[in-house]
C-alpha cells in the first residue's frame, strides 16, 4: 500500500513547525475507547494514534487513552464526546443506530462496501462530507480511524442450514444488521465486546459475532460455540471512527488539527495491516483446535440480502437523513462493485483457485 509512505513523508514534514514555534500550547485530551485493553489490534489502534500525535507535536499534544468502562461504558463513547465529558473517542458508529440508522454508514452496511471501497467513498466519494454534515447535530466531527477488513459471520451453538434456522436465534450483532436478521425471525442483541463471552457462556445468547479470528480467539468464543461461519455480510469492510467534540476541535491550533488528520491516516494503515497479518495464523489454530469453519448456505445469504434491501427501502421512506446518504452511497456502491468485478475480483478468484489446488 503506497499511501502509507506518503503519509509518513507528510507527517515527517509536520514535525518541523512544532520545533520552530515555541508558543504552541500544551494540550491534554482524553480518549475513551469502546473496546477492552485485551484486544491489542482494535484497542491498540487508539494507543498507536495517541503515540503518533505526541511524537508529531514534540510532546505538546498528549492524548490519554481509556478502555471501555474506565470512564464510560463502551456503548456510551459517543455520548461522552457529545456532552464534553471527554474530548474524543474511538468507536464503531453503528453502535448508535438506535439514535439514528444513518450512523451505520460510517462503519459498515449489510452487503455494502469492502475496505478499499469504504476508503474511496469517505475520501473521494462524498462520504466524509455527508457524514460530517450529519454529525453536526451531535456536536462532533468525525475521522476515518481504523479498519478491521472483512469480518467473519460469527459463532453459533447450532448449524445454520436454512433461513428458518435463524428464527428465534438470540444473537449478539452490532449495527443495522440486527434489524436485517430480525426480519428473518432472529432476536438481535447489542452487547459490548468485553461482555459477549459471559453472555454466550450463560446461554443469554445463542450466537455472537465480533470481528475475526485474531480477536475472536482472544475472546475465547471457540470454547463455547463450535460453528464459525463466514462471510460477515454485514461488515464487508468495517471502519471505525474517531469522534471529536466540536468545541475541542475548534479550539485546536491549525498544526494540531493537521497532526490529527495525519495520525488518523497512519492509524488506518496500521490497524488493517495488523489484522491482515494476524488473522491467518489465528484461523489455522482455531480450525486445528476443532472449530467447524463453514460458509453461510446460499439460501441464507439470499434471504439476508433480500431482507436488507427491504429494510433499506423502509428506512429511506421513514428517515430523510438516512435517504440522503443512502441514495448517494448506493449509487457509489453500484459503480464500485462493477469495477471490482473486472479488476480485483477476477484476480482474487484466480489466486483463490490456485490456493485451493495447493499451488501457492
pLDDT cut 90: percent of the chain above it? 92
Residue 19 reports pLDDT greater than 80:
no
For the stretch 173-216, pLDDT in tens is 988 999 999 999 999 998 988 899 999 999 999 999 999 999 99
- Asked if 187 and 323 count as a contact pair (C-beta separation under 8 A), the reply is no
Quote the pLDDT of residue 358.
96
Q: What is the mean pLDDT of the chain?
A: 94
Domain spans, the chain: 3-148+236-277
Cis peptide before 231 (omega within 30 of 0): yes
Q: Write down the pLDDT at residue 96.
A: 97
What average pLDDT does this structure show over 162-173? 97
Which cell numbers in the block locate residue 204? 443469554
The yes-or-no verdict on residue 6 having pLDDT over 60 is no
**Residue-level pLDDT at 174:** 84
What pLDDT does 21 receive?
Answer: 57
Which residues, in sequence order, are CB contacts of 78 under 8 Å at separation 6+?
89, 91, 95, 96, 138, 140, 243
User: Distances from the Cα of 124 to the Cαs of 110, 119, 132, 233, in angstroms?
Assistant: 21, 8, 14, 24
The whole-angstrom distance between residue 96's C-alpha and the CA centroid of its chain comes to: 13
Cα separations (Å) of 321 from 113, 118, 340?
Answer: 20, 19, 28
359 burial level (CB within 10 Å; 0-12, 13-18, 19+): exposed
Contact 117, 274 (CB under 8 A): no
For the residues 303-331, what does the mean pLDDT come to?
98
> What is residue 175's predicted lDDT score, i.e. its pLDDT?
82
pLDDT tens-digit readout, 100-128? 999 999 999 999 999 999 999 999 999 99
pLDDT, average across residues 40-45: 97
CATH architecture of 3-148+236-277: 3-Layer(aba) Sandwich (3.40)
CB 198 within 8 A of CB 219: no
Residue 37's SS3 state is coil
Cβ–Cβ under 8 Å, residues 97 and 176: yes
Specify burial of residue 97 (Cβ count, 10 A radius: 0-12, 13-18, 19+).
buried
Q: Above 50 in pLDDT, residue 2? A: no
Which one has a higher pLDDT value, 9 or 22? Answer: 22
Query: Residue 110 pairs with which residues in a beta bridge?
Result: none
272-304 confidence digits (pLDDT tens): 999 999 999 999 999 999 999 999 999 999 999
| Grid cell 447535530 in the structure block, residue | 137
Nine cell digits for residue 78: 459517543
The predicted pLDDT at position 194 comes to 87
> Between 299 and 4, whose confidence is greater?
299
Buried b vs exposed e over 289-328: b needs ≥16 C-beta within 10 Å?
eebeeeebbeebbebbeebbeebbeebbeeeeebbebbeb
Spatial CA neighbour of 88 closest among 34, 130, 128: 34
pLDDT at 141 over 60: yes
**Average pLDDT of 68-72?**
97
The answer on pLDDT for 7 being more than 60 is: no
Q: Please give the full DSSP string across 208-227, using - where no structure is assigned.
A: E--S-HHHHHHHTGGGT--E
Which comes out higher in pLDDT, residue 234 or 22?
A: 234
Could you say which DSSP state residue 26 is in?
P
* Residue/partner pairs of 48-52 with CB below 8 Å, 24 or more apart: 48/266, 48/267, 48/270, 48/271, 49/90, 49/145, 49/242, 49/263, 49/264, 49/266, 49/267, 52/11, 52/262, 52/263, 52/266, 52/267
Cβ(118)–Cβ(237) under 8 Å? yes
Mean pLDDT of 16-35: 79
Alpha carbon of residue 48 to chain centroid? 16
Q: What is the largest CA-CA distance in the chain?
A: 66
Q: Is 199 exposed, middle or buried (0-12, 13-18, 19+ CB in 10 A)?
A: middle
Cβ atoms 3, 38 nearer than 8 A: no
Which pLDDT does position 22 carry in this prediction? 64
Q: How confident is the model at residue 131 (pLDDT cuts 50, 70, 90)?
A: very high
Phi/psi for 91 (5° steps) reads: -155, 175
Amino acid at each position: 500500500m503506497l499511501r502509507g509512505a506518503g503519509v509518513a513523508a507528510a507527517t515527517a514534514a509536520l514535525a518541523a513547525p512544532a520545533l520552530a514555534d515555541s508558543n504552541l500550547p500544551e494540550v491534554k485530551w482524553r480518549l475513551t475507547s469502546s473496546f477492552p485493553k485485551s484486544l491489542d489490534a482494535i484497542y491498540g489502534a487508539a494507543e498507536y494514534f495517541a503515540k503518533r500525535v505526541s511524537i508529531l507535536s514534540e510532546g505538546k499534544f498528549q492524548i490519554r487513552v481509556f478502555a471501555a468502562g474506565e470512564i464510560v461504558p463502551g456503548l456510551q463513547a459517543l455520548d461522552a464526546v457529545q456532552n464534553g465529558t471527554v474530548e474524543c473517542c474511538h468507536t464503531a458508529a453503528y453502535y448508535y443506530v438506535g439514535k439514528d440508522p444513518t450512523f451505520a454508514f460510517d462503519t459498515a452496511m449489510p452487503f455494502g462496501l469492502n475496505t478499499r471501497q469504504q476508503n474511496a467513498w469517505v475520501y473521494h466519494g462524498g462520504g466524509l462530507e455527508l457524514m460530517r454534515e450529519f454529525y453536526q447535530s451531535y456536536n462532533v466531527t468525525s475521522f476515518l480511524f481504523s479498519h478491521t477488513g472483512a469480518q467473519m459471520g460469527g459463532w453459533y451453538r447450532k448449524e445454520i442450514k436454512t433461513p428458518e434456522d435463524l428464527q428465534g436465534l438470540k444473537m449478539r450483532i452490532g449495527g443495522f444488521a440486527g434489524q436485517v436478521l430480525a426480519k428473518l425471525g432472529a432476536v438481535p442483541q447489542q452487547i459490548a465486546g468485553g461482555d459477549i463471552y459471559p453472555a454466550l457462556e450463560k446461554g443469554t445468547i445463542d450466537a455472537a459475532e465480533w470481528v475475526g479470528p485474531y480477536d475472536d480467539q482472544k475472546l475465547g468464543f471457540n470454547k463455547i460455540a463450535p460453528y464459525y461461519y463466514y462471510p460477515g455480510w454485514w461488515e464487508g469492510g468495517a471502519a471505525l471512527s474517531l469522534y471529536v467534540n466540536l468545541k475541542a476541535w475548534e479550539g485546536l491550533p491549525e498544526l494540531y488539527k493537521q497532526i490529527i488528520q495525519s495520525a488518523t491516516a497512519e492509524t488506518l494503515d496500521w490497524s488493517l495491516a495488523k489484522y491482515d497479518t494476524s488473522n491467518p495464523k489465528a484461523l489455522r489454530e482455531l480450525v486445528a483446535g476443532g472449530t467447524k469453519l463453514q460458509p453461510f448456505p446460499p439460501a441464507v445469504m439470499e434471504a439476508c440480502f433480500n431482507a436488507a434491501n427491504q429494510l433499506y427501502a423502509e428506512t429511506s421512506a421513514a428517515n430523510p437523513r438516512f435517504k440522503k446518504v443512502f441514495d448517494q452511497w448506493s449509487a457509489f456502491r453500484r459503480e464500485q462493485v462493477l469495477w471490482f468485478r473486472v479488476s480485483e475480483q477476477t484476480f482474487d478468484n484466480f489466486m483463490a483457485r490456485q490456493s485451493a489446488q495447493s499451488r501457492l
